[in-house]
Amino acid sequence: MNDAISKVLDKLEEQSKKEKSRETQVSAEDRMLAITKETGELINMILRVKKAKNMLEVGTSTGYSTIWCAEAISEQSGKIITIEKNPSKIKRAMTNFERAGISNTISIKEGNALEILTQMKSQQEYFDFFDCVLIDADKENVIKYFDLILSMVSIGGVIITDNMLYPEKYRECMAKYSEHIKKNSKLRTITSPIGNGEEITIRMD
Ligand SMILES: C[S@@+](CC[C@H](N)C(=O)[O-])C[C@H]1O[C@@H](n2cnc3c(N)ncnc32)[C@H](O)[C@@H]1O
């Protein structure tokens, strides 16, 4: 990993730690709520093994997870589309992408993910398009996001969903999500205890 990327990731990890321990007071809507480092490493590894080129992320926040993904995707000259509704987080994410030197790999779509995904789903260019998707926005819409995304995922494509196990307040909602995926015979899925709990789903057919 190059120095610029590693420096930005280190800084964001430090910030995330401070926010979690309440050492820094941040308003609810400005909290990073980032994936763990372990999850970043896992997704980076999946992207490398798949030699993934096209990635979609729902929930950019300040860009920590996006940078982990871009570090792998950039080696395949690929692209990441990432969706975020909070303008101040987008600003922070853009600064982080610049500092990490990976802005060219990332395209941010600003707005409500349900609306953006509905629009994208109707565009032929995204049909069977994404090799990998990370779902990490609001949890109440997670099944809706998944259903909108599925036709945009290529056969063999992977969908990773954060917060399956932690925070515990989401557990019931995320268990329903996992059950929803298991009903579809064209998918295989496991709930991994890595990080905050990651659902790793493969489109088989
Ligand atoms: C858990 S954080 C994402 C963390 C990020 N993936 C990371 O690991 O660095 C969830 C983000 O989703 C955004 N979000 C929540 N609901 C959204 C919606 N309906 N449309 C777009 N973004 C949304 C929030 O503003 C927040 O920044």
Kindly indicate the confidence band of residue 6, based on its pLDDT and cuts at 50, 70 and 90: very high
Please give the distance, rounded to the nearest whole angstrom, from the Cα atom of residue 202 to the centre of ligand 1. 23
Q: Which stretches of 69-174 are assigned E, i.e. beta strand?
A: 79-84, 106-110, 130-135, 153-161
The residue type at 129: F
The domains found in the chain, sorted by start residue, are 3-155 (3.40.50.150)
What mean pLDDT do residues 37-45 have?
Answer: 98
Label residue 68 by pLDDT band (50, 70, 90). very high
Tell me which DSSP letter residue 140 carries.
Answer: T
6 C-alpha to center of ligand 1: Å? 22
Q: How much is the pLDDT for 114?
A: 98
pLDDT of residue 26: 87
pLDDT, position 8: 98
The pLDDT assigned to 53 comes to 98
Ligand 1 first shell, C-beta below 6 A: 32-35, 59, 61, 64-65, 83-86, 89, 112-114, 136-138
Model confidence at 69: pLDDT above 90: yes
- The rounded Å distance from CA 59 to ligand 1 centre is 3
What is the rounded average pLDDT of the residues 149-163? 98
pTM of the model: 0.97
- Contacts (Cβ under 8 Å, ≥6 apart) of 11: none
Burial of 185 (0-12, 13-18, 19+ CB in 10 A): exposed
20's tokens: 């979690």
Per-residue pLDDT, 151: 97
> Given this model, what pLDDT does residue 25 score?
85
Q: Is the pLDDT of residue 15 over 90?
A: yes
> Which pLDDT belongs to residue 23?
86
